[in-house]
Amino acid sequence: MPHCIIEYSAPLAHEIDIKQFVQLVHHGAINSGLFERSAIKTRAIKCDEYQVGDNHLGSFIHITMKILPGRTDEQKQHLLSAVYESISAETVSVYSLTLEVIDINANAYVKHLASGH
């Protein structure tokens, strides 16, 4: 844990190296010091159809970090700050940048690993 999910407007793929951006978010989560490196999962989802307010051309990035419950609000804020610090230089031209931390309902979450992992 966490699951770091990056949603982004499709045209940003021409402005930002998405593979590198995924690594920056991942490293931000690592740098928070809140999770084991091996537990962090980061992925990006391109959004071809979107609208930002009244701006049909506005770019966006939204990063959701889903974590198991038990972290304090201060720890969640620290995670947000660590990820933002890691990506801020790459996002200066992004029209809308948002980040959020969401607690997963532990009673409604199951994790299975392949044997030997």
Domains of the chain and CATH, by start: 3-108 (3.30.429.10)
d(CA 59, CA 75) in angstroms, rounded, equals 29
> pLDDT of 47-106, one tens digit each?
999 988 886 678 999 999 999 999 999 999 999 999 999 999 999 999 999 999 999 998
| Residue 2 preceded by cis peptide, ω within 30 | yes
- pTM summary value: 0.92
Helix and strand counts by DSSP (H, E) for the chain? 2, 4
Q: What angle do CA 66, 68, 29 make, to 5 degrees?
A: 55
63, 18 Cβ separation under 8 angstroms: no
Report pLDDT for 104.
94
> Which of 6-10, 16-20, 109-113 is predicted least confidently?
109-113
Query: What are the tokens at 9?
Result: 């407007």
Amino acid at 81: S
Between 14 and 52, name the one with better pLDDT.
14
Within the chain, strands assigned E span 3-9, 41-47, 60-67, 96-103
| Location of structure tokens 């972290």 | 71
